[in-house]
Amino acid sequence: MAIIESSRRRAVESLLEDEAITADLIDEAACPLLDWGIAQVDRLAEREEDDEISPQQLEHRLTALRRKMKYIGRKAGEVPPEAQAERVRALIAEIELPAPVEQTSETDKNDV
């Protein structure tokens, strides 16, 4: 448990210290992005604690999370400051959308 908490703390600190994530954003837009990132770290730490993912998988996913956050920060930074917070929320919502489920049976295809 102490190892997981230590990993979580380091991961959160790395997000908060990475200025590239929020460099293009005003504070009101940076806060929801960082809050979302911290929530993602918490979810990943829980999965590691439950042995659903290995420490190596955790690190890989944290790297992917930082990349996503930087992307969101850059894209939201392209809009006027007053629209950045809403753009951050919209981009997060897009990322969190579930992948479409492919239909496999003929019955399902006829229902469309």
How much is the pLDDT for 112?
44
Cα gap 103→7, rounded to integer Å: 40
How much is the pLDDT for 101?
62
End-to-end CA distance of the chain: 48
| CA–centroid distance for 85 within its chain | 15
* Residue ranges in the chain whose pLDDT is less than 70: 1-4, 99-112
How much is the pLDDT for 109?
47
Tokens 């956050």 correspond to what residue?
69
How much is the pLDDT for 34?
97
Cα gap 50→31, rounded to integer Å: 29
